[in-house]
Amino acid sequence: MDTTITTVDPSSVSSPSSSKQWKHDVFLSFRGEDTRRTFTDNLYWTLKDNKVNVFIDENELPRGENITDELVKAIRRSRMSVVIFSKRYAESRWCLEELEKIVAFQRLSCIFLCVTRE
């Protein structure tokens, strides 16, 4: 698996001054069937172990459904997003809706990771 990663110092993500404005330090966007049980799960636990407050969607949306209000709220209330582009990320209408909301709402930064299997 080849992975391009941009690293972030966890202390730069969370700060006391931001605690009232942000509910989550990081919002993870990923295609569940591609990376949920592998790369995304490992990234989630690594961030949590480093005291980063991470939002990850635990529910799998049925095919054809629209992004939920809960997810839109989580994106708005996250300090930054990490988008995990897997090979089939763009095939998911839900992922593309999430990405659209991330680009529209993020005030600080997004990190894009490209994950491929060889």
Catalytic residues: 98
Distances from the Cα of 27 to the Cαs of 47, 117, 118, in angstroms?
11, 23, 27
70 closest CA partner among 112, 110, 34, 23: 23
